[in-house]
Amino acid sequence: MTMPADPADYRAVWKSKLVLRIVYEGLYERIVKACRPGRTLEIGGGSGNLKAFSPDVVSTDVLPADWLDAVCDAQRLPFAPERFDNIVMFDVLHHLERPVRFFEEASRLLRPGGRVVMLEPGITPVSRVFYGLFHHEPVDMTEDVMADGALDPSRDPYDSNQAIPTLLFGNRKRRLLFEARFPVLKVMTAEKFALAVYPLSGGFRSWSLVTASMVKPLTAVEDFFAPLLGPILGFRLLVVLEKRP
Ligand SMILES: C[S@@+](CC[C@H](N)C(=O)[O-])C[C@H]1O[C@@H](n2cnc3c(N)ncnc32)[C@H](O)[C@@H]1O
């Protein structure tokens, strides 16, 4: 099975696949719940649907699309300091060439107490095998994610390394290193979850091994076990950072 080629194709799959919409509804609910009240900037909105779950959102992406409010790069954002209460990225951090540039921008744009909320692939012993076999995006656990340097203007925005979020936030040592580099950003949450329903749904592929009616009850069961099993089986990583006053 192939993945859609562009955001419009992702939107078409989104409209036609009920299981996908129910799975993602749960993911968007987690994002919205983690946000502070106030103004939200969405980065890398792409084919996304955050506005459907949280109306007061400025949606942006580095690639243009009719439904976005602005086109901009996460690594150099054209907004005034302390403009936003939340910055949301859903499956975007692992596409960034220089993640540190984004966190510098986030530190600048957030109001004190404001949050960065990111939902990303989580690399665990089980997800690593699955992503390696069935997902087109690479997992490179050797990348120096704190490296800075010039941005390549010809880089494909869909280039990726699914390991980036885990390399930054996957364990306590990594989180401490992050906070040492960005002392203004406190790591509030770094949870691995989504044990089975998400991979069994097939994501944006045309197949699913779960039915729409199974998604919510199965997700409730796996959420119960996630604190214990997430570090071994989780496919997703929710990271919440808060700007210190
Ligand atoms: C996997 S898609 C996720 C789209 C959407 N957030 C969703 O969940 O459906 C990754 C998105 O990140 C965007 N992106 C990649 N690099 C970016 C950058 N440097 N700045 C802003 N957006 C970027 C891509 O254009 C793409 O729309």
Nearest CA to ligand 1 atom 9: 48
14 — alpha (psi -120 to 50), left (phi > 0) or beta? alpha
Do the domain assignments include residue 1? no
Are the beta carbons of 21 and 28 closer than 8 angstroms?
Answer: no
* Residue 228 identity (one-letter amino acid): L
pLDDT at 5: 55
Tell me what pLDDT residue 29 has: 96
**Cα-to-centroid distance, 224 and ligand 1 (Å):** 30
For the chain, how many structural domains are there in total? 1
Q: Which residues have C-beta atoms less than 6 Å from ligand 1? A: 43-48, 61-63, 73-75, 90-92, 95-96, 157
- Report the distance separating Cα 15 and Cα 153, nearest Å: 33
- Beta strands 57-61 and 40-43 are parallel
Check residue 3 and give its pLDDT: 55
**pLDDT (0 to 100) of residue 1:** 36
Q: Would you say 169 and 175 are in contact if contact means Cβ atoms under 8 Å apart?
A: yes
C-alpha 90 to ligand 1 mean position (Å): 8
Q: Where are the alpha helices (DSSP H) in the chain?
A: 7-16, 18-34, 50-53, 99-109, 125-134, 164-169, 172-181, 197-201, 212-233
Is 102 a member of any domain?
yes
Within a domain: residue 103? Answer: yes
**What's the CA-to-centroid distance between 91 and ligand 1, angstroms?**
7
Q: Which domain holds residue 145?
A: 7-243
Q: Which two tokens stand for residue 5?
A: 């080629």
* CATH number of residue 81's parent domain: 3.40.50.150
pLDDT tens per residue, the chain (245 residues)?
345 656 677 778 888 999 999 999 999 999 999 999 999 999 999 887 899 888 889 999 999 998 899 999 999 999 999 999 999 999 999 999 999 999 999 999 999 999 999 999 999 999 999 998 888 899 999 999 999 999 999 999 999 999 999 999 999 999 999 999 999 999 999 999 999 999 999 988 889 999 999 999 999 999 999 999 999 999 999 999 999 99
Per-residue pLDDT of 198-224, as tens digits, reads 999 998 888 999 999 999 999 999 999
- The 10s digit of each residue's pLDDT in 131-162 is 988 888 999 999 999 999 999 999 999 999 99
Determine the distance separating the centroid of ligand 1 and the alpha carbon of 96, expressed in angstroms: 9
Query: Residue 88 and residue 92: Cα distance in Å, rounded?
Result: 9
The pLDDT assigned to 10 comes to 78
| Three-state SS at 42 | strand
Q: Is residue 2 a part of any domain in this protein?
A: no
pLDDT at 11: 79
